[in-house]
Chains A and B, each alone.
Chain A
Amino acid sequence: MAVVVEVKGLKKHFNGEVHAVDGVDLTTGEGEYLVLLGPSGCGKTTLLRTIAGLEEPTEGEVLIGGSVVNGLPPRARRIAMVFQSYALYPHKTVLQNITFPLKAEKLGREARLNKAQWAAGLLGIGHLLDRKPRHLSGGERQRVALARALVRDPSVFLLDEPLSNLDAKLRATARDELKLFQQDIGTTTIYVTHDQVEAMGLGDRIAVMYEGRVRQVGPPVEVYDDPADTFVATFIGSPPMNLVERGDQLVGFRPENFLPQAVVAGNGNRWSLPFHVHRVEHLSGDRHLYGTVPAGREHVRVIARLPATVTTPVDPDTTYEFAVHERHLRFFDRVSGERTAPRPVRD
């Protein structure tokens, strides 16, 4: 029953100059949770709005459930969208907000009420039905927005940064609930965020966008472990992947794989570097080491992340031998930033 959303050669230009979306091909799976991830201004929201029908593409096609929906108004696309600000109607009560789409569908009064109560029950906001949005907390508003999206039995959910208006603590629980909720109803969902933690946690697959293009699509682990280019490598991961120049290549490695030599197993298959530590940060049990390694004639800033299990003492302003196991090294073209074939780096 779940529906596939497909985007073919999609371009959206504003005023003929700004290429907000610049040639995107993307297909969701059935009932998949696809996350569009990218920095602000990368075109992810424009892409979502084009799928919703709030923007008309300059070029290319949008297909929902196999049929082209270009030119169809949003209401004809059987989609539901949750906005960053939730966009609740401030003059309507929660119940009126939730039933509004059903009224537009000309559903009877009784049926509307039943549907709204079902959705409100599912999201645990049954006791708030008589309130106005301004009397609700951020989390409650988000649920009302979800309920309003849910009652329409949409074939696709489009979520535009629905967690970004919540405070950090609430965001973690809301993320969890959102995931469970989507698993329950099994509707294909496209979720836009600039927060990689949300993307990694929620997405079945992540599409990383930058400057109007999709740089990489894949499951979170794949995007994290095997970034397609230096943008994805440095955008995902906190702290990001270290990049060290070596000939015509950039060698990338994750901070958690850059460890004291003694801890890195294997003799011939690791890359050792003298790591001059400038600063040590203690973060939730781990130690983040900020420092430099030599690369050619220069020094490059890199970060190492030692898990609590590594107890080697480390002091600032000292140089240590650190190493990366060969299997954790990634290679990129120095000019284009694209992923290239690995090359041996014996120490």
Chain B
Amino acid sequence: MALQRERVEPGTAGRKPEWERAGGVRAGVRPTLADREGVLAPLFLLPAVAYIVALVAIPFLLAIAFSFSDVTAGDPSFDWVGLRNYRRIFQDPVFWQSLRNTFVFTVVSMALTVVLAKALAMVLVADFRGKWVVRFLVLLPWTTPVALATIVWLYLLDSLYSPIDWMLRQIGLLDGNVFWLGRPGLAMVSVVLVHTWRIVPLAAVIIMAGLVAIPDEINDAAAIDGAGFWRKLTEVTLPLTMPVIAVAALLGAILTFTDMTVVYVLTRGGPTNATQVLPSWAFIRGIVGADLAQGAAIALFLFPLLLAAAVAILRAVRRMEVL
């Protein structure tokens, strides 16, 4: 194909688009919108930004505003009351118990999750027959809607008809009933276990991605260098997947910290607030109790902790990039 150089008269160059002035190589082919990154980038970002502004930024600012007001469901007019809501929260022993419970709930759940998810991830990457079926089954708890799965657990842990109790009775380990959700300590154990059951698949899949990313030759080298299972685990696999494990744990922590479904469906925070966590307490005060201002103030206590977790995640991700 002969390329014909266009003659450009002096002074007219500015009027022609650049691709034509450049010699007509693509004469007739005009750049479309898809070629213009300066337009595309904001265009693609817009939906996400709009979504975040509408569903995160505005509610967050509203919550801050509400926490300094006396807004209730019955009287939504905004009146400034300063720190009154916070003062009341601090005087409320249930708040302090919820805060403590939230930490116990999160820390214990995450400790269990990390250990179980790591073990599960190692099973998932192993090569065996039917591993796809196992992977699918393992993911099920995470894909089942929270409320649905928790209601099933509610039946499983029922005070009178619990199948778990029935089985324990059958094998002779139990006389009567456990009352899983009826005793303060056991209620917390139940909530933690159900939540862990839900989060472990997600964490396992994240950790699995990290395990798969370890080059085969590194694993081979460890085998050649004479490392057995435990040495390889502690000196090669764990250090190399630590950033991914950290991401899984922190993501899980955020999900645990902000979660109220499991608590709300299983115990409603009871018995006697033994399983009350910040989100459920905020919900009960703000929505059930109609005191929006109080609810907002309680919920805001989640913010600094979530911020810290987010920063920690970003740092872990950075470390992954460096490795």
The reply to whether B240 and A83 form a contact with Cβ atoms under 8 Å apart is: no
Query: Does A290 belong to the interface (CB within 8 Å)?
Result: no
Query: Does B227 belong to the interface (CB within 8 Å)?
Result: yes
Q: How far is the CB of A189 from chain B (nearest CB, A)?
A: 15
Q: How far is the CB of B322 from chain A (nearest CB, A)?
A: 8
Which residues of chain A are within 8 angstroms of B223 by Cβ–Cβ distance? Answer: 53-54, 73-75
Main secondary structure of the interface of B (DSSP, over half): helix
A81 and B220 in contact (CB under 8 A), knowing A75-B226, A91-B323, A104-B231? yes
Which listed residue, B217, B228, B239, B240, touches A84 by the CB 8 Å rule?
Answer: B217
Chain A residue at smallest Cβ distance from B225: A101
The reply to whether B225 and A75 form a contact with Cβ atoms under 8 Å apart is: yes
Which listed residue, A54, A90, A104, touches B240 by the CB 8 Å rule?
Answer: A90
Which residues of chain A are within 8 angstroms of B224 by Cβ–Cβ distance? Answer: 52, 54, 74-75, 79-81, 101
The reply to whether A101 and B226 form a contact with Cβ atoms under 8 Å apart is: yes
Query: Does B233 belong to the interface (CB within 8 Å)?
Result: no
- Interface residue ranges of A57-91 to B (CB < 8 Å): 73-75, 79-81, 83-85, 87-91
The reply to whether A100 and B235 form a contact with Cβ atoms under 8 Å apart is: yes
Which residues of chain B are within 8 angstroms of A90 by Cβ–Cβ distance? Answer: 240, 323
- Interface residue ranges of A18-64 to B (CB < 8 Å): 49, 52-54
Which residues of chain A are within 8 angstroms of B228 by Cβ–Cβ distance? Answer: 75, 104
The reply to whether A89 and B236 form a contact with Cβ atoms under 8 Å apart is: yes
What separation, in Å, do the CA atoms of A134 and B225 have in the docked complex? Answer: 20
Query: Does B167 belong to the interface (CB within 8 Å)?
Result: no
Which listed residue, A79, A85, A104, touches B217 by the CB 8 Å rule?
Answer: A85
Query: Does B307 belong to the interface (CB within 8 Å)?
Result: no
The reply to whether A85 and B225 form a contact with Cβ atoms under 8 Å apart is: no
Which residues of chain A are within 8 angstroms of B235 by Cβ–Cβ distance? Answer: 89, 92, 100, 103
Which residues of chain A are within 8 angstroms of B222 by Cβ–Cβ distance? Answer: 89
Query: Does A105 belong to the interface (CB within 8 Å)?
Result: yes
Query: Does B218 belong to the interface (CB within 8 Å)?
Result: yes
Which residues of chain B are within 8 angstroms of A88 by Cβ–Cβ distance? Answer: 221
What separation, in Å, do the CA atoms of A49 and B239 have in the docked complex? Answer: 26
Query: Does B74 belong to the interface (CB within 8 Å)?
Result: no
Which residues of chain B are within 8 angstroms of A104 by Cβ–Cβ distance? Answer: 225-228, 231
Query: Does A325 belong to the interface (CB within 8 Å)?
Result: no
Instruction: Give how many B residues have a beta carbon under 8 Å from the other chain's beta carbons.
Output: 19
Which residues of chain A are within 8 angstroms of B10 by Cβ–Cβ distance? Answer: none
Query: Does A148 belong to the interface (CB within 8 Å)?
Result: yes
Query: Does B17 belong to the interface (CB within 8 Å)?
Result: no
Which residues of chain B are within 8 angstroms of A80 by Cβ–Cβ distance? Answer: 224
The reply to whether B225 and A100 form a contact with Cβ atoms under 8 Å apart is: yes
Which residues of chain A are within 8 angstroms of B221 by Cβ–Cβ distance? Answer: 81, 83, 87-89
What separation, in Å, do the CA atoms of A74 and B220 have in the docked complex? Answer: 9
Q: How far is the CB of A164 from chain B (nearest CB, A)?
A: 13
Which residues of chain B are within 8 angstroms of A73 by Cβ–Cβ distance? Answer: 223
Q: How far is the CB of A56 from chain B (nearest CB, A)?
A: 13
What separation, in Å, do the CA atoms of A79 and B223 have in the docked complex? Answer: 11
What separation, in Å, do the CA atoms of A182 and B314 have in the docked complex? Answer: 47
Q: How far is the CB of B237 from chain A (nearest CB, A)?
A: 11
Chain A residue at smallest Cβ distance from B218: A87
Which residues of chain A are within 8 angstroms of B304 by Cβ–Cβ distance? Answer: none
Chain B residue at smallest Cβ distance from A149: B224
Which residues of chain A are within 8 angstroms of B176 by Cβ–Cβ distance? Answer: none
Chain A proximity mask over B290-307: 1 for CB below 8 Å, otherwise 0: 000000000000000000
Which residues of chain A are within 8 angstroms of B130 by Cβ–Cβ distance? Answer: none
Chain B residue at smallest Cβ distance from A49: B220
Which residues of chain B are within 8 angstroms of A148 by Cβ–Cβ distance? Answer: 225
Which residues of chain A are within 8 angstroms of B38 by Cβ–Cβ distance? Answer: none
What separation, in Å, do the CA atoms of A137 and B134 have in the docked complex? Answer: 43
A87 and B215 in contact (CB under 8 A), knowing A81-B221, A100-B235, A104-B231? yes
Which residues of chain B are within 8 angstroms of A49 by Cβ–Cβ distance? Answer: 220
Which residues of chain A are within 8 angstroms of B240 by Cβ–Cβ distance? Answer: 89-91
Which residues of chain A are within 8 angstroms of B215 by Cβ–Cβ distance? Answer: 85, 87
What separation, in Å, do the CA atoms of A104 and B228 have in the docked complex? Answer: 8
Q: How far is the CB of B295 from chain A (nearest CB, A)?
A: 46
Q: How far is the CB of A153 from chain B (nearest CB, A)?
A: 12
Chain A proximity mask over B236-250: 1 for CB below 8 Å, otherwise 0: 100110000000000
- Among B218, B224, B231, B323, the most chain A Cβ lie within 10 Å of the Cβ of B224
Q: How far is the CB of A159 from chain B (nearest CB, A)?
A: 12
Chain A residue at smallest Cβ distance from B220: A54
Which residues of chain B are within 8 angstroms of A92 by Cβ–Cβ distance? Answer: 235
The reply to whether B220 and A83 form a contact with Cβ atoms under 8 Å apart is: yes
What separation, in Å, do the CA atoms of A194 and B39 have in the docked complex? Answer: 48
Q: How far is the CB of B239 from chain A (nearest CB, A)?
A: 5
- Among B220, B221, B240, the most chain A Cβ lie within 10 Å of the Cβ of B221
What separation, in Å, do the CA atoms of A91 and B225 have in the docked complex? Answer: 16
Q: How far is the CB of B205 from chain A (nearest CB, A)?
A: 23
- Interface residue ranges of B23-62 to A (CB < 8 Å): none
Chain A residue at smallest Cβ distance from B219: A87
Which residues of chain A are within 8 angstroms of B323 by Cβ–Cβ distance? Answer: 90-91, 134
Which residues of chain B are within 8 angstroms of A91 by Cβ–Cβ distance? Answer: 239-240, 323
Which residues of chain B are within 8 angstroms of A84 by Cβ–Cβ distance? Answer: 217
Which residues of chain A are within 8 angstroms of B236 by Cβ–Cβ distance? Answer: 89
The reply to whether B218 and A100 form a contact with Cβ atoms under 8 Å apart is: no
Q: How far is the CB of A37 from chain B (nearest CB, A)?
A: 21
What separation, in Å, do the CA atoms of A241 and B231 have in the docked complex? Answer: 52
What separation, in Å, do the CA atoms of A49 and B217 have in the docked complex? Answer: 11
Which B residues form the contact surface with A (CB < 8 A)?
215, 217-218, 220-228, 231, 235-236, 239-240, 322-323
Known: A81-B220, A91-B239. 6 other contacts (CB 8 A): A53-B223, A89-B221, A92-B235, A100-B235, A101-B225, A104-B231
The 9 closest A-B pairs by CB, nearest first: A75-B226, A104-B226, A87-B217, A87-B221, A101-B225, A83-B217, A91-B239, A81-B224, A74-B224
19 of the cross-chain contacts (CB-CB < 8 Å) are: A52-B224, A53-B223, A54-B223, A73-B223, A74-B226, A83-B217, A85-B217, A87-B218, A87-B221, A89-B240, A90-B323, A92-B235, A100-B227, A101-B224, A103-B231, A104-B225, A134-B322, A134-B323, A152-B226
